[in-house]
């Protein structure tokens, strides 16, 4: 056999090797994932900008706001009845407007407001909700624990304006009034509306202002209640939350918080960053295949395992061990249901279980921590009683 003597092509002149520069196709293959990821981020940012609400946001119980949370409709109804409505957003403006005592001061929020300055304003006051500083604005009125659900309620009082309005959408907070006050719209252990005379004026507190909003005004007797409470014939000074904290109302030289100093786009930047991290995690995350079920040579049902262990206990007459297993399992399952910490003492478990089920504490303690049964019949009776008290706890 002779060797292959075919001529071999000589290398290019100058010893230069063949070009290994990347082609357009190889560049696309290497960077297509990053390009697609960037495209998704750009599209998400554009969609967020398009769907973002305008600079005008809803202002709760604002007489100039036409959103569902505003009270523009109520303010127009009052003006149609000849009532003057003046909107203010600071304690100074409220005191200057209602300082003569011939106006109704409607307080919808006390954030960034000195409540003691408002409390010194003479005349009638209508306070909406458990606002900060309620004890100064309505002395003697206490908000009660819990938050009664806002729903349509009957007045159940003889206050003329409230009784004429009938059912209204109130709740949110229940109050207990001072001696001589009148409570309407029972809610929880108190009333959602409390009114009384104080320092020559009438103070009225309601649990929430939902019945005054544009969304709820046309329901039930909400409009009648709002008009009867506010439209007393006196001009109204309507205090709302200021859109920006007034200078001097907050600690510091300018009354600005950290959030006020943040640029407007910080929230969207954080959102886009989180989305980018999620996409990178999805791209580089480990891929796991479908779950594969292993074929076992023998499949033993759980019931057979329990029955087999029971036969072993019976054959060995291990009633003490069997009773201990039953008691330990019952205690482990009942402890979290009774609100006890793991490893709670026997006295705590027995007391909580007796209080929950109404069983005799001595009987419960004997079943859980007493001596082991002396025969098989006693073991069966113990198992049935433990099952009985466990079902009682589950059903209560």
pLDDT of residue 18: 41
Count of alpha carbons within 13 Å of 16, Cβ hemisphere only? Answer: 6
Region 144-150: mean pLDDT is: 91
Is the model more confident about 326 or about 262? Answer: 326
Q: Where in the chain are the domains?
A: 72-239, 302-395
- Token pair 């891929």 is found at 287
User: CA 193, CA 158: separation in Å to the nearest integer?
Assistant: 13
pTM to 2 decimal places: 0.52
What are the backbone angles phi and psi of residue 44, rounded to the nearest 5°?
-65, -40
pLDDT of residue 345: 87
Contact 141, 180 (CB under 8 A): no
pLDDT of residue 34: 74
- The per-residue pLDDT of the chain, averaged, comes to 83
Is residue 146 very low, low, confident or very high in pLDDT (cuts 50, 70, 90)?
confident
DSSP tally for the chain: helices H, then strands E: 14, 11
User: CA 255, CA 242: separation in Å to the nearest integer?
Assistant: 13
Q: What is the DSSP letter of 167?
A: S
According to CATH, the topology of domain 72-239 is: Rossmann fold (3.40.50)
- pLDDT for residue 136 is more than 70: yes
**Tens digit of each residue's pLDDT (9 = 90 or more) over 266-307:** 778 888 888 888 888 877 776 666 777 777 777 667 777 777
Region 231-244: mean pLDDT is: 88
- pLDDT for residue 250 is more than 70: no
pLDDT of residue 221: 93
Region 331-356: mean pLDDT is: 88
CA angle 356, 361, 362 (to 5 degrees): 160
- What is residue 351's three-state secondary structure? helix
Q: What is the DSSP letter of 267?
A: H
Contact 71, 63 (CB under 8 A): yes
User: CA 87, CA 70: separation in Å to the nearest integer?
Assistant: 13
User: CA 164, CA 99: separation in Å to the nearest integer?
Assistant: 31
pLDDT of residue 25: 66
User: CA 388, CA 235: separation in Å to the nearest integer?
Assistant: 68
Region 216-238: mean pLDDT is: 93
Region 319-348: mean pLDDT is: 88
**Tens digit of each residue's pLDDT (9 = 90 or more) over 164-175:** 999 999 999 999
pLDDT of residue 20: 42
What is the helix (H) or strand (E) element at residue 309, kind and residue range?
helix 302-316
Is the model more confident about 175 or about 311? Answer: 175
């Amino acid at each position: 056999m002779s060797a292959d003597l075919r001529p071999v092509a000589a290398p290019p002149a100058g010893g230069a090797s063949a070009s290994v520069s990347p082609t357009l196709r190889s560049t696309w293959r290497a960077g297509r994932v990053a390009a697609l990821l960037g495209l998704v981020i750009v599209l998400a940012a554009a969609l967020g900008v398009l769907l973002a609400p305008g600079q005008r946001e809803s202002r709760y119980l604002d007489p100039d706001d036409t959103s569902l949370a505003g009270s523009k409709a109520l303010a127009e109804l009052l003006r149609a009845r000849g009532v003057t409505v003046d909107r203010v957003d600071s304690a100074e403006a409220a005191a200057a407007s209602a300082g003569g005592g011939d106006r109704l001061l409607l307080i919808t929020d006390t954030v960034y407001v000195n409540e003691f300055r408002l409390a010194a304003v003479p005349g009638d006051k209508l306070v909406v909700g458990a606002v900060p500083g309620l004890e100064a604005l309505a002395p003697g009125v206490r908000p009660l624990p819990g938050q009664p659900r806002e729903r349509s309620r009957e007045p159940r009082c003889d206050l003329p304006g409230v009784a004429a309005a009938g059912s209204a959408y109130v709740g949110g907070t229940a109050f207990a009034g001072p001696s001589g006050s009148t409570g309407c719209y029972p809610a929880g252990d108190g009333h959602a509306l409390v009114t009384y005379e104080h320092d020559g004026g009438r103070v009225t507190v309601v649990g929430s202002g939902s019945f005054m909003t544009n969304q709820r005004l046309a329901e039930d007797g909400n409009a009648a209640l709002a008009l009867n409470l506010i439209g007393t014939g006196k001009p109204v000074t309507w205090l709302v939350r200021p859109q920006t904290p007034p200078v001097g109302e907050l600690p510091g030289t300018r009354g600005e918080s950290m959030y006020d100093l943040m640029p407007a786009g910080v929230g969207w930047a954080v959102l886009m960053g989180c989305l980018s991290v999620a996409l990178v995690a999805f791209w580089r995350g480990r891929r796991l295949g479908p779950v594969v079920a292993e074929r076992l040579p023998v499949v033993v049902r759980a019931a057979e395992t329990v029955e087999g262990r029971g036969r072993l206990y019976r054959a060995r007459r291990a009633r003490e061990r069997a009773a201990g297993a039953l008691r330990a399992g019952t205690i482990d399952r009942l402890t979290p249901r009774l609100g006890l910490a793991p490893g709670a003492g026997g006295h705590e478990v027995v007391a909580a279980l007796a209080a929950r089920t109404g069983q005799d504490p001595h009987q419960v303690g004997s079943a859980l921590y007493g001596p082991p049964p002396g025969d098989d019949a006693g073991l069966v009776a113990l198992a049935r009683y433990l099952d009985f008290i466990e079902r009682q706890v589950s059903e209560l």
